[in-house]
Amino acid sequence: MTERLADDAAGVARAARLLRDGHLVAFATETVYGLGGDATDGRAVAGIFAAKGRPQFNPLIAHYPDAAEAFRDVIANDAARALAAAFWPGPLTLVLPRNAACRVDLLAGAGLDTLAVRVPAHPVALALLAAVGRPVAAPSANRSGQVSPTTAAHVLDGLDARIAAVLDSGPCPVGVESTVLDLTGARPMLLQPVLLRPGGLAVEAIEARIGPVCRAGEASVLRSPGMLASHYAPSLPLRLGARDVAPDEALLAFGPPLPGAGAVFQLSAAGDAVEAAARLFAGLRWLDTEGKTRGLVRIAVMTVPRDGLGLAINDRLSRAAAPRG
Ligand code: AMP
Ligand code: MG
């Protein structure tokens, strides 16, 4: 079912076409095989989470063929530009604020205002990304809970028949994941860059270019807790499992909407969890803004069944509904 493509010009062209059409294609980077999907297409991104069988939405890295393309979607700063010049293409992921023109779907960033971007050092990956011409979201190409794959055979062990194709480039040279560096606080000098995940590029090499980097653990003393928020939550409170709705409430609907809400956002009229996942963060943001404009007091949320992507949707909704400190 899953096409196995040679990594020649024809294979890359086929893979790019599949990605542009919203299908999922695994491809090699220098670190591990990535499970790629068009990052601008919420349904393709929802498909990545479904194929991996993840019970949660975690933010994905957007991949680009060069730094200029990557910096189209985020607000770069001096540190980001210096590191990109020194280490891209390479195993370094930079987390930066999304910009106003950001093309990446909110689900790919798990609803956050920030976005992780990377230019991988693999000739086939770069050729593919250039041919797609759009950011490609790509977590490791394994089922949730399994180890990251470093060969096309590993990819097929977990994902055969769940993805459209795998572009076979043989074994990945690095085999460990990219180093993830948060540069979102590097603007007003107040806050230092933070190492979120050690990986293929040594933190000492980064510090040689931009100065001190906080290791995880040190970070808490330098950042306010709010800045470390690992998930998006609207400012209006959420009421889950709504069976009715009041005029002073906004409604996040799934299937036929309850009558009487002050504002309604439909996740999926047909009750399709993939469509609902693709619209979840956009819906929460819209209801939050619209609800405050109209003087509404909370967001009532209709029940989403816990099968398939419904599990991850419920996980995110209950985090968004949890009391905040
Ligand atoms: P992977 O799924 O292996 O590609 O890993 C992605 C890594 O990047 C995870 O550790 C994520 O938590 C991290 N990441 C991606 N986007 C963000 C973001 N916007 N803010 C913080 N960490 C991020
Ligand atoms: Mg992984």
Q: Quick one: pLDDT at residue 225?
A: 38
Ligand 2 centre from 224 Cα, in Å? 28
Ligand nearest to the CA of 141: 2
CATH topology match: 3-218 vs 238-321:
no
Ligand at shortest distance from the CA of 143: 2
Q: Residue 95's beta-bridge partner residues? A: 116, 182
Tell the residue nearest (CA) to atom 13 of ligand 1: 59
Give the binding-site residues of ligand 1, using a 6 Å CB cut-off: 58-59, 61, 93, 95, 109, 112, 114-116, 139-140, 177, 180, 196-197
Average of per-residue pLDDT across 16-20:
98
Residues facing 58 on adjacent strands: none
- The b-or-e profile of 149-177 (16+ CB within 10 A means b, else e) is bbbbebbbebbeebbbbbbbbeebebebb
Higher pLDDT, residue 147 or 324: 147
pTM of the predicted model as reported, rounded to 2 decimal places: 0.89
How close is the Cα of 193 to the center of ligand 2, in Å? 23
Going by alpha carbons, the residue nearest to atom 4 of ligand 1 is: 139
Closest listed ligand to the CA of 150: 2
Mean pLDDT, residues 269-289 taken together: 94
Integer Cα distance of 48 and 59 in angstroms = 12
pLDDT-derived band of residue 79, with 50, 70 and 90 as boundaries? very high
- Expressed in angstroms and rounded, the spacing between residue 150 Cα and the centre of ligand 2 is 11
Q: Are 35 and 24 in contact (CB under 8 A)?
A: yes
Ligand nearest to the CA of 49: 1
Q: Mean of the pLDDT values across residues 42-64?
A: 96
Residues listed for the chain: 325
Domain segments of the chain as ranges: 3-218, 238-321
Q: Which of 2-6, 88-92, 131-135, 194-198 has the lowest mean pLDDT?
A: 194-198
Beta carbons of 315 and 57 less than 8 angstroms apart: yes
Average pLDDT, integer, range 283-298: 96
Rg (CA), the chain: 20
Name the band, by pLDDT with cuts 50, 70 and 90, for residue 218: low
Average pLDDT of span 230-249: 92
Closest CA to 37 of 61, 1, 12, 70: 61
Distance (Å, whole) CA 275 – CA 279: 6
- If one compares 219 and 254, the residue with the highest pLDDT of the two is 254
Alpha carbon of 180 to ligand 1 centroid (Å):
7
Residue 189 pLDDT > 60: no
**Ligand 1 mutation target, pool 33, 45, 73, 95, most atoms within 8 A of CB:** 95
pLDDT of residue 127: 98
- Looking up tokens 């055979």 gives 153
pLDDT level of residue 186 (50, 70, 90 thresholds): low
Residue located nearest, by CA, to atom 14 of ligand 1? 59
Ligand nearest to the CA of 104: 1
How many angstroms separate the alpha carbon of residue 270 from the centre of ligand 2? 32
User: What's the rounded mean pLDDT across residues 121-127?
Assistant: 98
Tell me the pLDDT band of 217, cut-offs 50, 70 and 90. Answer: low
DSSP letters for 89-112: SSSEEEEEEB-TT--S-GGGGTT-
Instruction: Name the residue among 177, 169, 164, 147 with its Cα closest to residue 36.
Output: 164
Q: In sequence order, what are the residues at sequence separation of 6 or more whose Cβ sits closer than 8 angstroms to the Cβ of residue 147? A: none
Least confident of 152-166, 171-185, 218-232, 246-260: 218-232
Give the pLDDT confidence score for residue 221 in this predicted structure: 41
Query: 39-43, 251-255, 287-291, 321-325 — which is least confidently predicted?
Result: 321-325
What mean pLDDT is predicted for residues 52-80? 96
Q: Which atom of ligand 1 is nearest to the CA of 60?
A: 15
Assigned CATH class of 3-218: alpha beta
Residue 266 CA, ligand 1 centroid: distance in Å: 28
What mean pLDDT do residues 15-35 have?
97
pLDDT mean across residues, the chain: 92
Q: What's domain 238-321's superfamily in CATH?
A: Threonylcarbamoyl-AMP synthase, C-terminal domain (3.40.50.11030)
Our mutation pick for probing the ligand 1 site, out of 33, 49, 93, counting the most ligand atoms within 8 A of Cβ, is 93
* DSSP-derived secondary structure letter, 60: P
Give me the pLDDT at residue 190, please.
54
How much is the average pLDDT of 172-184? 90
- The Cα 75–Cα 174 span in angstroms is 29
- 116 alpha carbon – ligand 1 mean position (Å): 6
Is the pLDDT confidence value at 229 over 60? Answer: no
Q: Given a cut of 50, is residue 226 above it in pLDDT?
A: no
Residue 248: C-alpha distances to residues 257, 258, 283, 303 (Å): 16, 14, 18, 19
Q: How far is the CA of 102 from the centre of ligand 1 (A)?
A: 17
Segment 214-223 mean pLDDT: 59
Of 69-83, 162-176, 184-198, 200-214, the range with the lowest mean pLDDT is: 184-198
